[in-house]
C-alpha cells in the first residue's frame, strides 16, 4: 500500500506521514530531505543554487547518508531547497529514487509536493494536508525558535508565502492537489486530531495492512 501525502510548508504533512508510517508499519520517505540535501551540497561547494549541472550531479550522488536531518532542517535550507526543486533536471534526477522507495513489497508512505501527482499517481490513498499561511507560520516559528534560530514571526510568514508561491507557480511538478486526493485542513487541529483524521481517510480506503 502506498500512501501519498502532499502539502505546503509546515502544514503538518511530515508529522502525519511519520505517524501513519509507524501506525501501519510502513517505511517512510520525507522527499523534502532530498531537495534539501541537493541544496546543502551546492552551498557546501560554493555553487550558486541555480547551477543546474552541479545540482543534477549532487542529486545523482545522493544516498541515505546525505539525509541527516540535523544539517538539513533550518530556515535557510528550506528556502534553498525550494530554489533547486524548481529546476526540472533536478526533479527528473530524483524520480527513480523516489519510485524505487515507493515500490517496496510492503508499501510505503511518502510525503512531499508532487507525490500524488507525479511520483506515485496510482497511489491508492492520497492526502493533501493544508492549513492557513498564518497557522503554518506560527508552527514554523515555534519550531525554528525551538532550534535556537533567531527569527521573527513576520519573517517566517514571508518565507511561507514566498515558498508557497514558488512551489505552486513552478512549471515542473508544481504543488497541486491531485484530483483524487482527500483534503485535510489542519488549521484548527492539534497533532493527535490531524493524525486521527488521516487514519480515518486511510482506513476508509479499505486497503490498510494489518496494524504493526
Ligand atoms: O518541511 P517543509 O514543508 O518546510 O519543507 P520540505 O517538505 O522539506 O520541502 C522543502 C522544499 O523542497 C519545498 O519548499 C519544495 O520546494 C521542495 N520539495 C519539492 O519540490 N517536492 C517534494 N516532493 C518535496 C519538497
Atom 7 in ligand 1: which residue has the minimum CA distance?
32
Decide if 35 contacts 41 (C-beta within 8 A): no
Task: Find the farthest-apart pair of alpha carbons in the chain and give their distance in angstroms, rounded.
Answer: 49
Q: Which residues make Cβ contacts (< 8 Å) with residue 44, sequence separation at least 6?
A: none
- Cell readout for 180 is 483524487
Dump pLDDT digits (tens) for 126-176: 999 999 999 999 999 999 999 898 999 999 999 999 999 999 999 999 999
Decide if 13 contacts 129 (C-beta within 8 A): yes
pTM confidence score? 0.94
- Cell readout for 121 is 499517481
Dump pLDDT digits (tens) for 47-94: 999 999 999 999 999 988 888 888 898 888 999 999 999 999 999 999
CATH fold group of domain 2-202: Rossmann fold (3.40.50)
Å from CA of 176 to ligand 1 middle:
13
Determine phi and psi for 68, rounding to 5 degrees: -70, 110
Alpha-carbon span 138 to 10, nearest angstrom: 9
Nearest Cα to 82, choosing from 48, 38, 117? Answer: 38
Alpha-carbon span 127 to 205, nearest angstrom: 11
Ligand 1 atom closest to Cα of 13? 3
Amino acid at each position: 500500500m502506498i500512501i501519498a501525502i502532499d502539502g505546503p510548508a509546515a502544514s503538518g504533512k511530515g508529522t502525519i506521514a511519520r505517524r501513519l508510517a509507524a501506525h501501519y508499519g510502513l517505511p517512510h520517505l520525507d522527499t523534502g530531505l532530498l531537495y534539501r540535501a541537493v541544496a546543502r551540497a551546492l552551498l557546501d561547494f560554493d555553487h550558486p543554487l541555480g547551477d543546474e549541472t552541479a545540482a543534477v550531479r549532487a542529486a545523482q550522488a545522493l544516498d541515505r547518508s546525505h539525509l541527516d536531518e540535523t544539517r538539513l532542517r533550518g530556515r535557510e535550507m528550506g528556502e534553498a531547497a525550494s530554489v533547486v526543486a524548481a529546476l526540472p533536471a533536478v526533479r527528473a534526477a530524483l524520480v527513480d529514487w523516489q519510485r524505487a522507495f515507493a515500490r517496496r513489497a510492503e508499501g510505503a508512505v511518502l510525503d512531499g509536493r508532487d507525490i500524488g501527482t507525479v511520483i506515485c499517481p496510482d497511489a491508492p490513498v492520497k492526502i493533501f494536508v493544508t492549513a492557513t499561511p498564518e497557522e503554518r507560520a506560527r508552527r514554523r516559528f515555534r519550531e525554528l525558535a525551538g532550534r535556537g534560530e533567531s527569527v521573527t514571526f513576520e519573517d517566517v510568514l514571508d518565507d511561507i508565502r514566498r515558498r508557497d508561491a514558488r512551489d505552486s507557480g513552478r512549471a515542473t511538478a508544481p504543488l497541486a492537489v491531485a484530483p483524487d486526493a482527500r483534503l485535510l485542513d489542519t488549521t484548527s487541529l492539534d497533532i493527535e486530531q490531524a493524525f486521527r483524521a488521516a487514519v480515518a481517510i486511510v482506513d476508509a480506503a479499505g486497503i490498510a495492512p494489518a496494524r504493526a
